[in-house]
Structure 1
Amino acid sequence: MLDLVAVREGGTVADALHIALRTAQHAESLGFTRYWLAEHHNMPGIASSATAVLVGHIAGGTQRIRVGSGGIMLPNHAPLVVAEAFGTLAELYPGRIDLGLGRAPGTDGPTMRALRRDRVETEEDFPRDVAELQRLLGPAQPGQRITAVPGAGTHVPIWLLGSSLFSAQLAAHMGLPYAFASHFAPRMLLQALALYRQLFRPSATLAKPYVVVGVPVVAAPTDAEAEFLASSTYQRVLGILTGRRGQLPAPVENFMATLGPQERAGIADFLAAAVIGGPDTVRAGFAALAQATQADEFMLVSDVFDPALRLRSLDIAAAAQATL
């Protein structure tokens, strides 16, 4: 599962953090493999900006599930700082920490400049920073002038995240597992996965391609209720598309019917990989997506306004996946 740690209308950041932990504990009880958190900044509806801190909080409140970043936006950070943070997490929670890396800013232009100060990024920076991070998390070498302490020798698994052909090619070239952000940018999903698999080079950490795809999921006992609950996601997406980001809104009856054709098309494009419906619909949606992508894992995103109904959504999704 990927959690953006949504701040709900009428709720607080503290509420959002509590809901995230409760959701992670529930996902663990259902047998989910991993629980990732995404770095976003200056967004009133997302409380996961201090991603490494939150990874530690979730890992400390669970027992077995892997916890990680989906992802850390590496251009916002020096590789040494990331290596030390995730090296510390790996020492605290051995064998349970993932480090997913992205190259987007995770925010708007002014906030990006506030994060990066005077740094001007070039296309060569991201591959170089990923390689540096690999070295810092690998075994310390004789004569190595800069060592991540903690970090060196922890071998925290690195994933590359993206929604473009650039990220697919880089993950293939470096022999790293690849997570495609189809939960919000599904347009190039199949093309990127094909390119990744075609160009993949085995590495010391990965012998063959390994793919995760992001899947927005809203599951309920009936298709009609799922569609109603999904209106929270529809409203959030419309806010993203129109530049009016806010807190996660309560569901609205027949929300899509109130929109014009262009707005509906924009939401549908954004959520083209979404699976929304009752148990049978969710099962069929998962089966179709699995056949189309041959993904090794689904990374679910479930923005349901009512926290209890969000847990129920995960129950239904887990049961549907188990029958495939």
Structure 2
Amino acid sequence: MSTKKLSDIPVSVLDLVPILQGQTAAASFQHTIDLAQRVDQMGFKRYWMAEHHNMAGIASSATVVLIGHVAGATSRIRVGSGGIMLPNHAPLVVAEQFGTLATLYPGRIDLGLGRAPGTDQVTAMALRRDLRGSVDEFPQNVVEVKNYLGPVDPTARVRAVPGEGSQVPIWILGSSTFGAQLAGILGMPYAFASHFAPSQLQAALKVYRESFQPVGDLKEPYAMACVNVIAADTDEEAIHQSTSLYQSFLNVVRGTAKPMQPPVESMDGLWDAQERYAVQQMLRYSFIGGPKTVQEELQAFLDETGVDEIMVGSNIYDHAGRVHSYEIISRFFQPSKD
């Protein structure tokens, strides 16, 4: 059991840049900029966006472009990827892109790397043209990116310009023990996707901490977990707003691509018992309620995991409600002064 309090650790934001039913991707980008500017003022530490492709409800496919857009519209908060799906990209291209971002916004860029495609296999083929060995090569590709962004080596035949010497912090993202062990062996910070794949959280944290070897500036393991939080002024309002999140995951279970749906009075009749169970299993680490409820549940999660940082996704259809959710959450944590 951890003895940390929420006020001892920083809190960060995961923005999936949702496309809302009846709205456009352009509106999603406007909401993202507004939210990023608000949470920057609230003291959140990071603002990460994730690479997803061919999804009607997510507008963050060109993740690197959005990172630059958000970093340019904010002043303090770290902006990064949660994550870049490395099998979709050549390591040199990733290093050049993030080296460019780090040159434009010094000390404010994070690079989170994942080994999943962030889409279905047909779309992965459209992205890459070749699926052979891409996941199996993830460890060596991570090392390659790390080397490109590391100390300047004038003798290297291939160099990331800009990028070399930038020392952009690189995170390993994961939802299993594979990424946890890799992050530990390479001495890198680790972020777990417990907001949609909770089953191996505890096992992955254990593997990461036990396999960690200090490298460079990171002397001790640093673990972050992402969770869903729907916070409102009352439990009843939060439960109502959470039905948009449940509908989004129901669409994932069914394999149906839809924009984010507005909240409904009840999920009864929208899912059967099997679908309800599947969605609730995926959303195990979702904390929904008024300020007191959410604070207690987040503290219990911290007690259980002992993570060093919590990242929060508040997937709420109403933009004002989404901003308010983060306002409530910000009161519980240590404000970042980076």
TM-score (norm 2): 0.93
Q: Alpha-carbon deviations, 1:241-277, whole Å to 9, x = none? A: 1101210000000124653221221111011011100
What one-letter code is carried by the residue in structure 1 that aligns with 2:207?
L
Q: Which of 71, 83, 91 is the equivalent residue of 2:83?
A: 71
1:103 equivalent in structure 2? 115
- d(CA) in 2 for partners of 1:212, 1:29: 22
**1:118 and 2:135 correspond:** no
In the TM superposition, residue 217 of structure 1 has moved relative to its aligned partner by: 0.7
- What SS does the corresponding residue of 1:147 show, helix, strand or coil? coil
Aligned partners of 1:169 and 1:199 also within 8 Å: yes
Aligned partners of 1:173 and 1:200 also within 8 Å: yes
- d(CA) in 2 for partners of 1:190, 1:42: 31
What one-letter code is carried by the residue in structure 2 that aligns with 1:271?
L
- d(CA) in 2 for partners of 1:158, 1:76: 17
Identical-pair percentage: 52
Aligned partners of 2:83 and 2:114 also within 8 Å: yes
**1:88 and 2:112 correspond:** no
Q: How does 1:43-58 map to 2 (within 5 A)?
A: 43-58=55-70
What one-letter code is carried by the residue in structure 1 that aligns with 2:180?
A
**1:182 and 2:194 correspond:** yes
Q: Which of 313, 316, 321 is the equivalent residue of 1:301?
A: 313
Q: Which of 262, 267, 287 is the equivalent residue of 2:279?
A: 267
Count of aligned pairs between the two proteins: 323
Q: How does 1:1-324 map to 2 (within 5 A)?
A: 1-256=13-268, 258-321=270-333
User: Which is bigger in relative contact order (C-alpha 8 A, separation at least 6)?
Assistant: 2
Aligned partners of 1:231 and 1:256 also within 8 Å: no
- What SS does the corresponding residue of 1:155 show, helix, strand or coil? coil
- d(CA) in 2 for partners of 1:268, 1:124: 31
- d(CA) in 1 for partners of 2:134, 2:63: 24
- d(CA) in 2 for partners of 1:93, 1:122: 31
In the TM superposition, residue 158 of structure 1 has moved relative to its aligned partner by: 0.2
Aligned partners of 1:162 and 1:168 also within 8 Å: yes
Structure 1 pair 237–139 and aligned structure 2 pair: CA distance change class (3 A): same
- Cα RMSD (Å) of the superposition? 1.3
What one-letter code is carried by the residue in structure 2 that aligns with 1:202?
P
Which 5+ residue runs of structure 1 have no aligned equivalent?
Answer: none
